[in-house]
Structure 1
């Protein structure tokens, strides 16, 4: 794998990659368990983790529906 493909992505990188706003990313981290890593004040992302999360429906699931399923 190319080193550039495996690098940590910033908030702006991942929001551009997914085509959503930074606010949406913050909501997904908080409410829908989006895979993200806090490094000091910054959030960083691994592209393959985010891709897997999206593929398994993480971005599509409604938080209230997911909470009902786990109860």
Structure 2
């Protein structure tokens, strides 16, 4: 089985992976809200870092939606 931990994505590939538009990924990268780096002026993304970022986003979203959060019963 292929080891994907060192896999590098292009902006187009990350957009497809996250199922969002390329412009969204570009804006996130430029604002340093998603782990990214530039090679020759073009954005690149490490798959392992993107997967960790997804986990953090999921955890934050779940904690925001708890009983006292903005979407909870008390909100």
TM-score, normalised relative to structure 2: 0.64
Q: Which residue of 1 aligns with 2:57?
A: 57
Distance 1:46 1:32 in 2: 14
- 1:1-71 correspondence to structure 2 within 5 Å: 2-3=2-3, 5=4, 6-31=6-31, 33-57=33-57
Distance 1:9 1:29 in 2: 13
* Structure with the higher fraction of residues in strand conformation: 2
Q: CA deviation at 1:31?
A: 3.3
- Long gaps (5+) in structure 1: 62-71
Question: 1 or 2 for the larger relative contact order (CA 8 Å, sep ≥6)?
Answer: 1
Task: Let me know the Cα RMSD of the aligned residues.
Answer: 2.4
Distance 2:55 2:10 in 1: 20
Distance 2:53 2:30 in 1: 14
TM-score, normalised relative to structure 1: 0.67
